[in-house]
Amino acid sequence: MEYIWKHGIVGPTDWTLEGERPLKPEVLFVDLYNGERYRVLSVSIVDGRDVVQTWPCGQCEQGRLAEFREKYGYVETKESRPRKDLYFNFEPFEDAMADKTVTKTI
């Protein structure tokens, strides 16, 4: 599924977010490039397009980020950038960094 991605209090952006499973509120994901964590606040349809609203959740702990990078074979390249390689967690928010996840490169 592809979504228009609104983050924080920013208005519409040209960011998109793509994943193999539908997103829903409380899903967390981590940017494997810089360790930023995001929380899905809402998913809606605007002008016929799916829109996901996220909020910042701080930085992923460096040791855990290293584990995610190793587990998913993430290697930083000259094409690497924020919001490109994401680690999704579909477990409840309280279990924010559980291993039952899906990863998708967008």
For position 3, what pLDDT does the model report?
82
For position 90, what pLDDT does the model report?
57
Question: Which residues neighbour 5 within 8 Å (Cβ) at sequence distance 6 or greater?
Answer: 13, 15, 16, 17, 51, 52, 54, 83
- Residue 66's SS3 state is helix
- CA 2 to each of CA 25, 45, 78, 99, 104: distance values in angstroms, whole numbers, following the listed order: 16, 12, 25, 23, 11
pLDDT tens digits, one per residue of 40-99: 999 999 889 899 898 988 898 899 899 889 988 889 999 888 888 877 765 544 444 443
What number of other Cβ atoms are within 10 A of residue 96's Cβ? 17
Q: What is the mean pLDDT of residues 19-45?
A: 88
Task: Please name the amino acid found at residue 86.
Answer: L
Q: What is the mean pLDDT of residues 3-31?
A: 80
pLDDT tens digits, one per residue of 9-19: 776 667 888 87
